């Protein structure tokens, strides 16, 4: 009876060693460099600007996403100072990257809504490679009222 278990264990060795061979698995996340706008840049509601990010990967890129959302944890204005018609701006864009590319320049024109709530916003750039590794980098911008000079 012990001989039967020994044979089963011997037969399982090739399968176990094949599972441990993960040398070909890509675990390196893409690299993202946000070129424009600068971190903590100031804009007014209604302003357009270009987001430019350089995305690279050691193997192959797959897709990108850009997200803008209000930074509600750092609001420096009192509730009475914010006009009722202002809204917290949240927007997303996404796309695929041509197969085989290891580098990609993402350029996304963004227009701040005219009714965007004044304050700080986060811009996140996400990158996914073909192996499923994801990276995200955030910067912060400020949307100011018209009376505030740069």
Q: Is residue 119 part of a domain?
A: yes
Query: Domain for residue 11, yes or no?
Result: no
Domain, as residue range, for 105? 24-144
CATH of the domain at 127: 2.60.40.2550
**Model confidence pLDDT, tens digit, residues 13-30:** 555 544 545 567 889 999
Q: Which two tokens stand for residue 12?
A: 């399982």
The number of folded domains in the chain is 1
Burial of 52 (0-12, 13-18, 19+ CB in 10 A): middle
Range 87-112 average pLDDT: 95
Average pLDDT, the chain: 82
Residue at 150 is within a domain? no
Whether 8 is covered by a domain: the verdict is: no
Q: What is the pLDDT at residue 36?
A: 97
Return d(Cα 144, Cα 48) in angstroms, integer: 14
């Amino acid at each position: 009876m012990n001989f039967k278990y020994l044979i089963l264990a011997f037969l399982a060795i090739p399968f176990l060693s094949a599972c441990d061979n993960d040398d070909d698995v890509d675990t390196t996340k893409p690299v993202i460099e946000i070129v424009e706008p600068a971190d903590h840049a100031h804009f007014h509601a209604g302003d357009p600007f270009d987001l430019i990010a350089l995305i690279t990967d050691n193997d192959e890129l797959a897709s990108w996403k850009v997200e803008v959302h209000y930074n509600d944890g750092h609001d420096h204005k009192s509730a009475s100072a914010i006009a009722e018609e202002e809204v917290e701006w949240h927007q997303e864009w996404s796309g695929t990257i041509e197969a085989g590319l290891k580098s990609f320049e993402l350029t996304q024109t963004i227009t701040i809504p005219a009714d965007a709530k004044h304050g700080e916003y986060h811009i996140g750039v996400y990158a996914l490679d073909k192996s499923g590794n994801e990276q995200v980098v955030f910067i912060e911008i400020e949307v100011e009222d018209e009376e505030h000079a740069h």
